[in-house]
């Protein structure tokens, strides 16, 4: 089966579960460990990632296929993708501040931080290397964002419950968080092969 034949919805679900960008590819680990102490703030960050990842994947697909490919400049993809992501985040921040102050407050510092989240850049690079179509890219971007959010919210939930648990002192904080992430990743990887997307 050709990659282009895969239905975008399949890609979406696969990106959430079997091909979870965080737990299967380990991209975006830094905020995953740093901002997963509370469910509330992890939902805020997750929402921002879903939105930015979806939009920038699509934007970057357009830029890549309509500018870089015709000029044979595919090797510029890294720098171009980063600029596009940075500019997009800036515009979104201005727009949100104007339109919804409460959303702006909820996202807070997370929005600008997302610019350097490697899951965002990873999403754009995967859709290029897997040769997705525009629709597939949209599904992949949205799914990856949702998958990332699912992972961080689950992590935050676990860590909130863990507060009462006794952890070996040497493993408190990031140590136990990494172990939990590893176990979660095992669970997600258990599903790999159910849906094939590349």
Partner 1 sequence: MDKILLAIEVLCGISLALTLLLLVAEFFFANYGDCEIDINNGDKKITAKGGGSLLSTLSEDKVFIPSACGGRGSCGFCKCKVDKGGGPVLPTETPYLSEEELKNNVRLSCQIKVKEDIAIRIPEELLSVKEFETTVESITDLTHDIKGVRFKLPEGETVRIKAGQYIQLVAPPYDEVHEPTSRAYSIASRPSDDEAIDLIIRLVPNGIVTTYVFEHLKEGDKAKLVGPFGDFYLRDTDKECIFIAGGSGLAPFRSMLYDMIEKGIKRKTTFFFGAVGLRDLYFVEEFAKLSEEHSWFKFVPALSGKEEGHSYERGLITDVVARSFEKMDNHEGYLCGSPGMIDACVRVLTAGGIPEDQIFYDKFA
98 binds partner 1 (CB under 8 A): yes
Our measurement of the distance from residue 15's CA atom to the centroid of its chain's CA atoms, rounded to an integer in Å, reads 10
Torsion of Cα atoms, 197 then 73 then 76 then 93, to 10°:
-80
The piece of 34-42, 101-109, 133-141, 190-198 that touches partner 1 (CB under 8 A) is 101-109
- Rule CB under 8 A: choose which of 29, 80, 125, 176 binds partner 1: 80
Least CB distance to partner 1 at residue 111 (A): 14
Residue with Cβ nearer partner 1 (99 or 168): 99
Q: What is the DSSP letter of 25?
A: T
The piece of 82-90, 117-125, 134-142, 186-194 that touches partner 1 (CB under 8 A) is 82-90
Closest CA to 111 of 134, 86, 132: 86
Residue with Cβ nearer partner 1 (97 or 160): 97
Residue with Cβ nearer partner 1 (9 or 87): 87
Contact indicator for 32, 173 with CB cutoff of 8 Å: no
- Rule CB under 8 A: choose which of 67, 167, 187, 194 binds partner 1: 67
Torsion of Cα atoms, 127 then 12 then 115 then 178, to 10°:
-110
- Rule CB under 8 A: choose which of 66, 102, 129, 170 binds partner 1: 102
Least CB distance to partner 1 at residue 73 (A): 6
Question: Rounded to the nearest 10 degrees, what angle do helices 118-129 and 134-162 cross at?
Answer: 150
Measured at the CA of 95, the angle between CA 91 and CA 98, to 5 degrees, comes to 145
Alpha helices in 1-76 (DSSP H): 8-16, 29-34, 39-63
- Rule CB under 8 A: choose which of 87, 178, 186, 187 binds partner 1: 87
Residues binding partner 1 (CB under 8 A): 63, 67-68, 71-73, 76, 79-80, 83-84, 87, 90-91, 94-95, 97-98, 101-102, 105, 108
């Amino acid at each position: 089966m050709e990659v282009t034949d895969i239905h975008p919805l399949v890609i979406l679900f696969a990106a959430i579960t079997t091909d979870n960008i965080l737990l299967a590819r380990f991209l975006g680990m830094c905020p995953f460990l740093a901002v997963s102490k509370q469910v509330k703030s992890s939902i805020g960050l997750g929402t921002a990632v879903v939105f930015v990842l979806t939009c920038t994947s699509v934007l970057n697909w357009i830029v890549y296929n309509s500018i870089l490919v015709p000029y044979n400049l595919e090797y510029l993809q890294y720098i171009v993708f980063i600029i596009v992501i940075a500019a997009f985040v800036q515009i979104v921040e201005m727009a949100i501040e104007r339109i919804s102050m409460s959303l702006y407050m909820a996202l807070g510092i997370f929005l600008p931080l997302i610019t350097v989240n490697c899951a965002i850049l990873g999403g754009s690079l995967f859709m290029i290397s897997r040769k997705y179509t525009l629709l597939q890219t949209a599904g992949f971007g949205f799914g990856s964002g949702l998958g990332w959010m699912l992972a961080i919210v689950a992590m935050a939930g676990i860590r909130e419950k863990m507060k009462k648990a006794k952890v070996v002192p040497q493993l408190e904080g990031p140590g136990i968080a990494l172990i939990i992430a590893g176990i979660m990743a095992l669970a997600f990887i258990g599903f790999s092969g159910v849906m094939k997307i590349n």
